[in-house]
Structure 1
C-alpha cells in the first residue's frame, strides 16, 4: 500500500495514453522520489519491484486487459521474481520503466521489466505472474481466448524454464515446512 497514490495516478494516466496490444512493450516515465531511496541515497532495491508493478499496470490498462480481468474477477499475482542491478538510480533522477511480456508456459505469464535512463539499462527483472479466479488458477486456454495468442516472435527464453523450476516453492496443496 505504500505506493497507493502513485498506483492510482498511474491507473488514471494510463487510461489517457495510447492503446496497446498486451503483446506490445509499454513505457512509463518516472522520477526517483525521496520515499524511494535508502540510507545509501539511491533507490532501495525493494522499490524496483514496487515501481515495476506500475509498469505492468500501465500495460494492462492500455491493452484493455485490466478491464477484462475485472469483468471475469481474475486477479494477477506474482509467482516469482528475479532482478539484476547494473547502476543505481539517484534521488530526483528521471527514468522509465520498460515492460513487455516475454512469454508464457503452463504455469505463468512472464514479464521482462527494465529501469532505463538515457537509453541505458540500470536494472532488469523477470517476473512470473499467474491469474487466479474465485475458483482457482486461470488456464492458458482461458487466457488466450480472452486476450489473444502471443505473436510468433514471443518465445519464452529457455533459461526461464530452469529458473522457474529451481525458484519455485511447493504447491499450496503440499506442505512447505520451515527448517534451515
Structure 2
C-alpha cells in the first residue's frame, strides 16, 4: 500500500520548512530523513526494493515543495510524471535504520528533468537512482523551458553530461514496446 500518511507528513514538513526559509535552489541537494518502518521491509528484514522507489517519491516531493516548483504546479494545474529510471543497490537498509534521502537535479533537456536520488544510512550510500521526470499539463509532458519560465529561471540550464548523457543515449536504443 502507498504510504499516504508518511507522504502527507513529508509534504507538511516541507511546507513548514519552506515557510521558515529552509528552501532549496535548483542547484542544491535537498535532504530529508525518515526511519525504515516495519511496513517497508520484506521477508529478509530489509527495505524492499519496490519500497525504495516509493520512498524516493517523498524526496522528490520535498525538493519540489522547498524549491518552489510545488507552487508552480498548483498555480498552473501541472502534474509530475516519471518516464524512466535506473537504480543501483549497494547496502541493505534494515528496519528502524535512520535513512537520509538526497535529491538533486542532475540535468535538464528540452523535455525532461533528470533527478538523481540516493539513500544513506550512517553516512554510507545504500542506493542511487537516476530518474527521467517531466511536468505534465492535461496528460502531456510540457517543455521544460515553460517550467523554468514559470519559476523565474528562464536562463538556467543544466545540459546532460557524463553518465546522465550516456544513460539517455543508451536508453534511446532500447526497443519500445518491448519485443517478445
Q: Which band: TM-score by shorter chain?
A: 0.7 to 0.9
Q: How does 1:156-167 map to 2 (within 5 A)?
A: 156-167=160-171
Q: TM-score, normalised by structure 1?
A: 0.87
- Which is worse superposed, 75-84 or 100-109? 100-109
Deviation at 1:167, TM superposition (A): 2.9
2:82 to 74, 78, 82: 78
The change in CA–CA distance for 1:19 and 1:177 in structure 2 (over 3 A counts) is closer
DSSP-derived class of the 1:54 partner: helix
In structure 1, the partner of 2:115 is 111
Q: How many equivalent pairs are there?
A: 174
The change in CA–CA distance for 1:78 and 1:125 in structure 2 (over 3 A counts) is same
List per-residue Cα deviations over 1:89-124 (Å, max 9, x = no partner).
Answer: 001010100000011112310111010122211110
In structure 2, the partner of 1:90 is 94
List per-residue Cα deviations over 1:19-72 (Å, max 9, x = no partner).
Answer: 222332110111110010011110001111111110010011111211111111
Counterpart CA distance in 2 for 1:98 and 1:4 is: 20
Tell me if the contact between 1:29 and 1:94 (Cα under 8 Å) persists in the aligned partners.
Answer: yes
Counterpart CA distance in 2 for 1:104 and 1:158 is: 13
Deviation at 1:135, TM superposition (A): 7.0
What root-mean-square deviation, in Å, do the aligned CA atoms of Structure 1 and Structure 2 show? 2.1
Deviation at 1:158, TM superposition (A): 2.9
In structure 1, the partner of 2:145 is 141
In structure 2, the partner of 1:46 is 50
Tell me if the contact between 1:43 and 1:88 (Cα under 8 Å) persists in the aligned partners.
Answer: yes
Deviation at 1:136, TM superposition (A): 2.8
Tell me if the contact between 2:78 and 2:135 (Cα under 8 Å) persists in the aligned partners.
Answer: yes
Where do 5+ consecutive residues of structure 1 fail to align?
171-175
Where do 5+ consecutive residues of structure 2 fail to align?
none
